[in-house]
Amino acid sequence: MVIFLTVILILCYFTFDAAKNVFRADWQFPSDDRMNNQDQQRLVLITQERDTPFWDKVAKGAKKQAEIEEVSLEVWGSYSHNQEDFLKNVEIAIQSKVDGIIVQGLDTDEFKNLTKIKASFYGVPIITVANDVPIADSLRRTYVGSDQFSAGKMIAEQLVRDMGSKGKVVLMLESQEEYFQKQRLKGIEEILKQYKDINVVYAKTIDTTKEQVVVTTQDTLNKEPDTNAFIAINANVLGTLVKEISKRYQIDPYYIYSFDDGPESISLLEEGTLDAMVEQTPEAMGEQSVQLMMEWLNGEKVPLDKNGYLTDIKIQKAENTNE
């Protein structure tokens, strides 16, 4: 009898345990948000390069600001300069009638078409961030980011300081130069032309794919074996460039400069491979772009400064440089 009762008690325990598990509603439908948030303004940040340190910071800053402004913000992006994807994203954003688009500028006709015609047609304001496209071509509201011209100047000055007023400098360019690259180039040239002994060589790659960069780098190294310095105007080529150089020579004797918006820039600087780079303030860009967009949308600041709102830049030198 006692055994029987014990069995019943044990069974009771298990039954109630199972019943508790069954009827405990620990999995709820996600809260139904039909009414809420519907009037919230929607911003989209569209970039060409996702998951690079630079753009992560931009996104972080933008999200922070969006939270303060109480708007919803999504970051869309394509990987490794997939222009088709990027343009599609921009188009979807426009067709989706978002309240504002913050976009990494792309200096191509398709992009300009989109921003100029379609965005205006749908009445979607666009702010370019980090990389500008001139207002005449894109009808952007404003630009938030670094002054690329002075960034070019700064890096050139640093080069001169490090290398001296004599030497051969290779500028890595894209043959299809974007607006921000042109600006940088202009800044660099502005400085370097003051020094007659500095020989500037232009190495143009067709695009920033690995194969092309490899080809260009090898070609340059073949043609110009006595090069002293490299400046990667587009930071995206940096990784491949450094790898290619190190295949032939010691990397240390070369002065290599670039900007911080490439995927490998920061790690290379920490390694000491990169001698210096221009450090921009991506978080500030994100924050400020969202802030300006909201101000424009709320009619607090009309019109926005067409020349853009510039964020801080500074030279970041490698800590264990060899001098």
CB atoms within 10 A of CB 244: 19
Q: Find the binding residues for another protein in span 178-237 (CB under 8 A).
A: none
Range in contact with another protein (rule: CB under 8 A) among 25-33, 142-150, 184-192, 209-217: 25-33
Range in contact with another protein (rule: CB under 8 A) among 23-31, 170-178, 184-192, 211-219: 23-31
- Using the minimum distance from each CB to another protein, give the nearer residue, 15 or 246: 15
Range in contact with another protein (rule: CB under 8 A) among 37-45, 104-112, 231-239, 248-256: 37-45
Q: Are 132 and 308 in contact (CB under 8 A)?
A: yes
**Can residue 247 be called a binding residue for another protein (CB under 8 A)?**
no
**Can residue 117 be called a binding residue for another protein (CB under 8 A)?**
no
Instruction: Give the DSSP H/E element, type plus range, for residue 184.
Output: helix 179-192
Range in contact with another protein (rule: CB under 8 A) among 88-96, 159-167, 199-207, 294-302: 88-96
- Using the minimum distance from each CB to another protein, give the nearer residue, 126 or 284: 126
CB atoms within 10 A of CB 121: 9
Shortest separation between residue 1's beta carbon and another protein, angstroms: 9
> Measured between alpha carbons, how far apart are the two ends of the chain, in Å?
92
Query: What's the rounded Cα separation, in Å, for the pair 140 and 33?
Result: 33
- Using the minimum distance from each CB to another protein, give the nearer residue, 24 or 196: 24
Q: Are 65 and 286 in contact (CB under 8 A)?
A: yes
Contacts of 77 (CB under 8 A, 6+ apart): 46, 47, 48, 49, 50, 51, 55, 86, 89
Query: What's the rounded Cα separation, in Å, for the pair 108 and 195?
Result: 33
Shortest separation between residue 38's beta carbon and another protein, angstroms: 7
Query: What's the rounded Cα separation, in Å, for the pair 61 and 283?
Result: 4
Query: What's the rounded Cα separation, in Å, for the pair 267 and 260?
Result: 10
**Can residue 93 be called a binding residue for another protein (CB under 8 A)?**
yes
Tokens 């690259």 appear where? 181
Ramachandran area for residue 271 (φ above 0: left; ψ -120 to 50: alpha; else beta):
alpha
- Using the minimum distance from each CB to another protein, give the nearer residue, 72 or 120: 72
Structure tokens at 46: 């569209």
Range in contact with another protein (rule: CB under 8 A) among 84-92, 168-176, 231-239, 252-260: 84-92
| Total site size for another protein, rule CB under 8 A | 36
Chain contacts with another protein (rule: CB under 8 A): 4, 7-8, 11-12, 14-15, 18-19, 21-23, 26-34, 37-38, 40, 42, 72, 74, 88, 91-93, 95-98, 122
